[in-house]
Every structure is written in structure tokens, then in C-alpha cells.
Amino acid sequence: MNLYDVIRRPIITEKSEGKKEAERTLCFEVAPEATRTDIKAAVEKLFKVKVASVRTANQVGKLRRRGRFQGYRPDWKKAYVKLRPDQKVPEYAEI
């Protein structure tokens, strides 16, 4: 898999920004078939930092309705990547 196939996009929310500042943890949407070692290698190569640990969570798609039609959003996978203490946190979003 390509680096950009493994890491799809950063998740930028209040919760993820709080974790980024307080716990040096980055949050990404990743490919559902990506493993922790794939995610670790992709983040280290893409941002040139050293990773301490990777935690993943599978998110179930929610039920959505438009009038009488209903369907489910797709399932997706989220990864929390904790950096080593001596590494600088990369800025992937300029606000």
C-alpha cells in the first residue's frame, strides 16, 4: 500500500486537537485493512517523526435518512498515534 492509501486524512476536531496538545497524540482516518505497523511506518516516513505507540478503533457507519429513504454511512477506521517525548509535533493544519 502507498503512504496515502494507509493514511487517508487527519481528523481535526476539538477532541483531537486537545489530545495533540496535551498527550502528543495525532488522530487519523486510515484504511480499514491497515495494520498498526503499516500506520506506524507511514506516519514516521510522512512526517519524519518517531512513533511511540499506535491505537486503532473501528467506527461503525451511522444510519442516515432523507425523507422516506434510509441508508448507512460506510464503516471506517481511526488511528491514534502517540509520538515519542523527544519528537516535535507536526503541524498538518494551519488554522
Distances 3 to 28, 39, 69, 73 between C-alpha atoms, Å: 13, 9, 37, 25
Residue whose C-alpha cell reads 476539538 in the numeric block: 14
Whole-number Å distance between alpha carbons of 1 and 25 = 23
Q: What is the largest CA-CA distance in the chain?
A: 54
Asked if 25 and 82 count as a contact pair (C-beta separation under 8 A), the reply is: yes
pLDDT tens column, 41-53: 999 999 999 999 9
pLDDT at 14 over 80: yes
Whether 7 shows a pLDDT value over 90: the answer reads: yes
What CATH architecture applies to the domain 3-83? 2-Layer Sandwich (3.30)
Whether the pTM exceeds 0.85: the reply is: yes
Q: What is the pLDDT of residues 40-93, one digit of tens each?
A: 999 999 999 999 999 999 999 999 999 999 999 999 999 999 999 999 998 865
Instruction: Single out the residue of 43, 44, 74 nearest to residue 58, CA to CA.
Output: 74
